Amino acid sequence: MDLLFTIVATIVALGLLVTIHEYGHFWVARRCGVKVLRFSVGFGSPLYRWYDRQGTEFVIAAIPLGGYVKMLDEREAPVDEAELERAFNRKDVKQRIAIVAAGPLANFLLAIVAFWIIAVVGITTLAPVLGPVQPGSVAARAGLSEGLEILEVDGRTTRSWHEVNLQLIRRLGETGQMQVTARSLEGGEPQTYTLELRDWLRGADQPDPIAALGLTSWQPVVAPRIGQLNADGAAAAAGLQEGDLIVEVNGEPVDDWVRQVVPAIQNSAGQTLNLGVERNGRFLSVELVPAVREQGERQVGFIGAGVEAFDWPEHMIRSIDYNPLVAIPVAVGKTWDMTVLTLESLKKMLTGLVSAKNLSGPITIAKVAGASAKSGLESFLTFIAYLSISLGVLNLLPIPVLDGGHLVYYTAEWIRGKPLSERIQAWGLQIGLTLIVGIMLFAIYNDISRLGG
């Protein structure tokens, strides 16, 4: 069932992105007087097709990994003299630039709409309040301490841990100073703390910016009472039951799930763990061996048990929403910020500041699509917006076979007053295909490596 849900969520996400992208090309082509022969969502054999009044064939194809808009063009097939004025290649260079650019621009518009819906509907999130700060860490040396709420990172407002993480990602691989503004929950004036970075997380395969600074998120004291069990997990096999209260771990008293029980389990991968449990007023001793799971470069233990649901203090919860008019510039600004961040990340990958192993392919996209869909509308819309921005940026890269490559050709034609030679365009096509295929294969290799891990 989980696999089916992931497949459906992936098809919905990719189908929406491809449809919007190709519709951008289609809509502008029609307004420029170009005859569109086919609008296809997907590749391969058609599953369903229909025609509109202008004779355009609309196709939903079997392989949902892309799409295309086929236009009347003398370079692809002979064109009847009566329809020459409707051929793409007969349009002036400005119109061709508009048609090509419309696809990526439609992706950015989709991201704006998604962010606008999120802003209007609103989200409820946890305030970015610090838990214990790791001694000797970058954050500790700067003076940050438990109980401070992060208000800004490098001058940008941060109202959630998600926003904090996004601002930290901007600084990956860099050397310099990071400014963090924070204030105690108990009140007082905000203070600015200066964090010194030196080749920070340069080349890290799976960077965790928050943990790398020595920061943790504040957690309430959570009673270690079992609320859920995996039937195949070590906890269930050892006889633990829902409602059991863990009061001892290896003879040491415990009263907090997050700070005491979880670390003890994670640090006991493959080793015997003795738990003291209170059940219906009786004390029981339970012995189990946590299973082993790879997490980055280390092994951690897990027992297939979850804590009973608990409530967060009201002062730790932030509700963020906007009226429909104010939400427009908010959505545009967020789309712009994510576009810039995507470009900066690509630049850092090329210069080695960020590991190219962070490049993801279809397998990772599918996993994230399924997980975000399960997490709710806000998570799924955010995933759609981020992926749409990535698709827009990717297509605008000056690589032949991509929209950006065609824009380079047409811009050169506009400046020169005549097109580039067919020989140069053919060379560009071969180079572009090689680059794209290489990038795709490397992204899939990264996906498979993550699955292996």
Percent of all residues in the chain with a pLDDT value above 90, rounded to a whole number? 51
How many whole angstroms separate alpha carbon 336 and alpha carbon 146?
33
pLDDT at 193 over 80: yes
Mean pLDDT score across all residues of the chain: 88
pLDDT at 336 over 60: yes
* Confidence at residue 297, expressed as pLDDT on a 0 to 100 scale: 61
226-308 matches 138-212 in CATH topology: yes
How many whole angstroms separate alpha carbon 211 and alpha carbon 243?
32
Q: What are 57-76's pLDDT values in tens digits?
A: 999 998 877 899 999 998 88
Angle between helices 362-375 and 2-31 in degrees, nearest 10: 100
Element (H, E) at 319: strand 317-320
258, 219 in Cβ contact below 8 A?
yes
pLDDT (average), residues 396-423: 88
Pairing of strands 273-279, 282-288: antiparallel
How many whole angstroms separate alpha carbon 419 and alpha carbon 402?
18
pLDDT at 220 over 90: no
Tell me the domain boundaries of the chain: 104-122+330-453, 138-212, 226-308
pLDDT (average), residues 125-146: 93
pLDDT at 95 over 90: yes
In CATH terms, is domain 226-308 a member of 2.30.42.10?
Answer: yes
Q: What are 299-312's pLDDT values in tens digits?
A: 888 899 988 888 88
**Best CATH choice for the domain 138-212 from the list 3.40.640.10, 3.40.50.620, 2.40.10.10, 2.30.42.10:** 2.30.42.10
- Two tokens, residue 106: 């439609």
- Two tokens, residue 182: 């924070």
pLDDT (average), residues 103-132: 94
- List, in order, residues 6 or more apart from 275 with CB less than 8 Å away: 240, 246, 248, 249, 285, 286, 287, 288
| Whether residue 308 lies in the annotated active site | no
- List, in order, residues 6 or more apart from 376 with CB less than 8 Å away: none
pLDDT (average), residues 333-341: 95
* Confidence at residue 190, expressed as pLDDT on a 0 to 100 scale: 94
How many whole angstroms separate alpha carbon 239 and alpha carbon 218?
32
